[in-house]
């Protein structure tokens, strides 16, 4: 799953969904609440750099006139992977919906769920939860236009004088008379490149003379010095771009989601293409970026109390999450490595729903993991 995004953060205020059973001694109609346990989703925030390459019109003469060989040889686009940020969150596990049905005397109880229906706690105090979410803004790649300014100081037309002969009629005969004729010719690309290279050396020389105070009249203060040197450097870079080309780079952010399944060890989460950047797993034009898990099986020896013969609707189910070593790799290169909790790699257990009868105790869960956070009085 892929989203191209700009990271624009907004704060969303959401209230707990509370199901309150009023105190009464006899329940003629059972009270039922449906809740869900979470599964862990891995989210990758990928930052990639897109560079647009523009070939300079004098690239063929960069070595001859400037002795420079590192030039852009063709127009194109390059992508580079800059950083990967890994986080995890819980979403509803579609295979782990449960319900609690009470039909006995009990004290007032409060069951708290997240807006998605994940279990949050029991007998918690009423409060508002503040959650930070990221707004997904879809962006389109606008074509970045790079236009070279006209830097030529000398005219692009050159004049050549040539001697031509005109036939002139005299009294006795026709004679050829030599005449000087000026012809306008367009300069060749090599001649234009030579002039541009000459301007580059002139700009360097002027900047050197200013910095070494080798002028009779110097700038009045340091700020003027800085401005003049900066403008000379900018103009030099503009001329240089005619030979070495231009690279315009900017960062783009992408989001990829991966939901690990119990028993699996990982897979391809996205692909990286030098021409189109981060792409989905089905685009075979990119190099695969893998996400791998090593389940540490921390809950393997955990004994779970048997629930055979116990009515499921009178049990509160929760998770004991497992641990895994997570790694993101690009071929043999490890881009990210960390140990994280994964809900579905652990076990599911339960407690009797009768705990809801005691309003003096509260149970709080981690909504993203479905595990108990604390039991307080």
List, in order, residues 6 or more apart from 173 with CB less than 8 Å away: none
* pLDDT on residue 253: 93
Cβ distance 6 to 139 under 8 Å? yes
Whole-number Å distance between alpha carbons of 122 and 316 = 10
Cβ distance 51 to 248 under 8 Å? yes
Q: How many residues does the chain have?
A: 377
* pLDDT on residue 35: 87
Cβ distance 323 to 345 under 8 Å? yes
Runs of H (alpha helix) within 186-254:
189-211, 222-244
* pLDDT on residue 13: 30
Beta-strand relationship, 246-258 and 371-376 = unpaired
For every residue of 307-322, DSSP letters joined together read: -TTS-GGGEEEEEEEE
* pLDDT on residue 126: 55
Strands (E), 55-103: 76-102
Whole-number Å distance between alpha carbons of 227 and 229 = 6
Whole-number Å distance between alpha carbons of 27 and 32 = 12
Structure token pair of residue 295: 């389940």
* pLDDT on residue 250: 86
297-342 pLDDT, tens digit per residue, is 888 887 765 655 556 667 888 999 999 999 999 999 999 999 999 9
Under DSSP, the state recorded for 369 is T
Whole-number Å distance between alpha carbons of 247 and 51 = 6
* pLDDT on residue 312: 60
Q: Where are the domains of the chain?
A: 2-145+249-376
Structure token pair of residue 212: 């070494």
* pLDDT on residue 292: 95
Sites in the chain below the pLDDT cut of 70: 1-30, 102-110, 125-162, 164-165, 184, 304-313, 356-359
* pLDDT on residue 174: 73
Query: Does the reported pTM lie above 0.85?
Result: no
The phi and psi torsions of 229 (rounded to 5 degrees) equal -65, -40
Cβ distance 90 to 367 under 8 Å? yes
Q: Residue 128: which region, alpha, beta or left (left: phi > 0; alpha: psi -120 to 50)?
A: beta
* pLDDT on residue 101: 75
* pLDDT on residue 259: 93
């Amino acid at each position: 799953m892929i989203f191209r995004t700009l990271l624009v953060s907004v704060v969303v205020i959401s209230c707990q969904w509370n199901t309150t059973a009023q105190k009464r001694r006899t329940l003629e109609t059972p009270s039922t609440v449906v809740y869900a346990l979470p599964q862990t989703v891995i989210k990758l925030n990928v930052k990639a750099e897109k560079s647009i390459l523009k070939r300079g019109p004098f690239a063929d003469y960069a070595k001859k006139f400037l002795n420079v060989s590192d030039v852009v040889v063709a127009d194109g686009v390059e992508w580079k992977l800059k950083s990967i940020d890994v986080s995890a969150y819980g979403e509803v596990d579609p295979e782990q919906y449960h319900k609690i049905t009470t039909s006995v005397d009990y004290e007032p109880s409060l069951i708290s769920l997240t807006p998605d229906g994940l279990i949050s706690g029991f007998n918690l105090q009423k409060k508002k939860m503040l959650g930070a979410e990221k707004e997904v803004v879809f962006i389109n790649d606008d074509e970045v236009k790079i236009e070279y300014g006209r830097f030529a100081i000398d005219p692009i037309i050159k004049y050549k004088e040539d001697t031509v002969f005109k036939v002139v009629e005299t009294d006795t005969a026709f004679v050829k008379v030599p005449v000087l004729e000026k012809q306008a010719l367009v300069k060749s690309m090599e001649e234009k490149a030579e002039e541009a290279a000459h301007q580059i050396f002139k700009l360097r020389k002027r900047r050197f003379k200013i910095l070494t105070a080798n002028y009779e009249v110097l700038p009045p203060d340091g700020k003027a010095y800085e401005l003049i040197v900066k403008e000379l450097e900018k103009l030099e870079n503009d001329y240089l771009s005619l030979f070495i080309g231009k690279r315009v780079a900017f960062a783009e952010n992408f989001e990829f989601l991966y939901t690990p399944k119990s028993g699996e060890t990982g897979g391809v989460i996205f692909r990286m293409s030098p021409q189109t950047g981060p792409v989905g797993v089905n685009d075979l034009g990119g190099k695969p970026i893998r996400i791998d898990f090593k389940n540490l099986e921390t809950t393997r020896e955990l004994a779970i109390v048997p629930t055979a013969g116990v009515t499921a609707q009178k049990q509160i189910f929760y998770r004991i999450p497992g641990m895994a070593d997570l790694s993101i790799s690009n071929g043999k290169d490890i881009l990210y490595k960390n140990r994280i909790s994964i809900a579905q790699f652990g076990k599911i257990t339960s407690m009797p729903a009768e705990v809801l009868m005691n309003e003096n105790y509260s149970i709080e869960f981690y909504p993203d993991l479905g595990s108990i956070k604390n039991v307080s009085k």
